[in-house]
Structure 1
């Protein structure tokens, strides 16, 4: 019996290889021409259309193929399996009427005669964004805003005109899929009228017309960090000696901070927030695990400033980048009191007369999402750019300079990893006296 089984096994192997390359590489199945689909409806929207159809009762139909040519002469195609009753056609650079050919394709790869259908996609996303795009001056550059309602993947090229040659020189490219577009292009001379230009591109390579503006960027500087000091603002008594019990880390929600976490050979003191060491994993600000959210600190900037923006770099450690203790939701406050005595600060950020709300910020991944990465090597090139440049938060414009700032951390990317701590490599503030 065993001998017969072995013989059958070897015969099966011989028959498999005897099929030859022709059987393996050429399609199998009926080459009869399949029946055509019947178009039911066309739904048009920005830069694309969906074609709905009825499938024929034909077992020989394997899939439906759509073929169309866009306004720039490029031919595209899309297929849908037998189990699908619709096809998306897109890539149109202009609104208008286009002819799409629908082919029924058999298991033997035989094509039916095409069913021609007219689609009328409306104004494409990159042009819709161009229409509502706004360019305005900001600190040391320009601020670009727009509504991208479809969430299309877009690129924004920013140019500046050379005063000597009148040539337009590219000074930056910004990529986004966010519905609410906002980005800043900085590094330009303040208080001088300059010409800027922005163009929008979609993922098919269509470019919008340029949008130009002449404006004068505002002056700002990076605040000197040698003046920064920690303020232990914690329900101060008259002499500043009252400190709440930290047993079990059950601290008041408006407490100035919490115990710092430390480990052998590493430095996590408060001043690591502003020591200039962005790229050092072991020198960071690391809050105590298990401390309840929100976590926050209060800092004395050393002088009064009109603040423009706040930069934050997470701890430079793979397990913490868009994972772990990487801050995700941040709120910034400035004290209305800006004198020289911290004891006069009110320890209640809900007191609107004492603390000015400078902004609530969501620190997302480059694609706009907030899910922590499952692995340490899952980040994209755009994510890494954020890690190098830091998360930038434009603070609410205020008429009153502030000296004291409270930064509150409402959530981290992952509360399980590192037990919900906050880990920061560096911070920077910008503004003007």
Structure 2
């Protein structure tokens, strides 16, 4: 019986089972060991650490940089600052013993503040505090708030701002409903140096629009509001539109694609260029002169996703008021903007979340400058695709504005 049991344990399947059990037990021991280690000081105490010396303080936007010399002791692990920011939140920031400075951030005022600077050692003991005093420079949030401008736009309002420090800022855009109650229309975040955002869908009658800004430290601005009259906007009728075939335009009649599918109001079909056709320009005759407000680009739904294969990613937009040369000479066109379709989640190709899918279904909007003269012809030049392909297959293009 004993010999049978020993022989049974030698069988390959039992060897694999025992190996897996040992691996699990080993992993549990490692995790337990790491957890226990993180709870304890990294070394025995060598005594309470000394304080920082040679301290200097430089004010920065929304905070200060404290420069210092750390004590000459082998068990010093780092330095930390403890302070309370403008909104009453207590914060701690740390710096390694390899550095000789620490950045204090998060303030949204230009009042005098203090911070306590501690040295801590490998036994997690703190030195006595060294108190520093500073007056922050104007915060990034305050700078963006001061630059905010709200003007009327097609079908709504346009919010314009600058963010010279490229700080992360969250924007809550609001509009008055039929009762005058302010309702959140959109929430967005941006670190761009210059930016604009429009909210639309309103009749050309006086309406209050507003925005509230916040930063990553929990600071909020007061509501910035104004009343504007939205400009009239309509979707340019596609019944009068046509795809022009200029001499250097790409053909979108490949792999079940058709040129006219780009403007047929059917997002389930598509235009498809040939291989090795990137850049891939195509030209739309609106059939009317129009004060243009925006275009909306729709991707093809392919392989259960949007941001993949030959879907457009980067493209240019040109306009012309007069009939262009049949040879496609670019000198007769005015370039208006560079566009990039952005995937909100930033997830890799083949993986999209609900926000990604909702935006693609709604279409990717690109606004024309408000001072753009009326035009009749639009030329879109697709420069790159999500899959890095040498062909492209946009599903649809909508054009908005006011027919003249």
TM-score (structure 1 length as normaliser): 0.76
Closer, same or farther: CA 387–20 of 1 in aligned 2, 3 Å: closer
Q: Which residue of 2 aligns with 1:407?
A: 380
Distance of 2:209 and 2:344 partners within structure 1: 26
Structure 2 matches for 1:141-290, cutoff 5 A?
Answer: 141-162=156-177, 164=179, 166-190=180-204, 192-234=205-247, 255-258=248-251, 260-262=253-255, 267-278=256-267, 280=268, 283-290=269-276
Q: Give the C-alpha shift of residue 412 in structure 1.
A: 1.0
Q: Give the C-alpha shift of residue 359 in structure 1.
A: 0.8
Structure 2 matches for 1:113-152, cutoff 5 A?
Answer: 113-152=128-167
Q: Give the C-alpha shift of residue 373 in structure 1.
A: 6.1
Distance of 2:86 and 2:262 partners within structure 1: 53
Q: Give the C-alpha shift of residue 382 in structure 1.
A: 5.9
Corresponding residue to 1:34 among 46, 49, 52: 49
Contact 2:292 2:374 in 1 (8 A): no
Q: Give the C-alpha shift of residue 75 in structure 1.
A: 0.6
Matched pairs, number: 373
Q: Verify: 1:394 aligned to 2:379, yes or no.
A: no
SS at match of 1:52: strand
Closer, same or farther: CA 375–401 of 1 in aligned 2, 3 Å: closer
Q: Which residue of 1 aligns with 2:16?
A: none
SS at match of 1:174: strand
Closer, same or farther: CA 54–325 of 1 in aligned 2, 3 Å: farther
Q: Which residue of 2 aligns with 1:337?
A: 322
Closer, same or farther: CA 194–314 of 1 in aligned 2, 3 Å: same
SS at match of 1:303: strand
TM-score (structure 2 length as normaliser): 0.81
Corresponding residue to 2:330 among 350, 365, 369: 350
Q: Give the C-alpha shift of residue 114 in structure 1.
A: 1.1
Contact 1:61 1:104 in 2 (8 A): yes
Deviation digits for residues 24-79 of structure 1 (CA, Å, limit 9, x no counterpart)? 74324132212222254333222132222222221111121211111222111112
Contact 2:320 2:375 in 1 (8 A): no
Unaligned runs of 5+ in 1: 1-12, 235-254, 339-343
Q: Verify: 1:89 aligned to 2:104, yes or no.
A: yes
Contact 1:229 1:301 in 2 (8 A): yes
Contact 1:256 1:297 in 2 (8 A): yes
Distance of 1:110 and 1:172 partners within structure 2: 47
Q: Which residue of 1 aligns with 2:8?
A: none
Corresponding residue to 2:389 among 403, 408, 419: 419
Q: CA RMSD in A?
A: 3.2
Contact 2:117 2:131 in 1 (8 A): yes
Q: Verify: 1:300 aligned to 2:285, yes or no.
A: yes
Contact 1:196 1:212 in 2 (8 A): yes
Contact 2:307 2:349 in 1 (8 A): no
Deviation digits for residues 72-128 of structure 1 (CA, Å, limit 9, x no counterpart)? 221111122222222222121222222111111111111111121123221222221
SS at match of 1:131: helix
Closer, same or farther: CA 132–259 of 1 in aligned 2, 3 Å: closer
Closer, same or farther: CA 52–385 of 1 in aligned 2, 3 Å: farther
Closer, same or farther: CA 405–364 of 1 in aligned 2, 3 Å: closer
Unaligned runs of 5+ in 2: 1-25
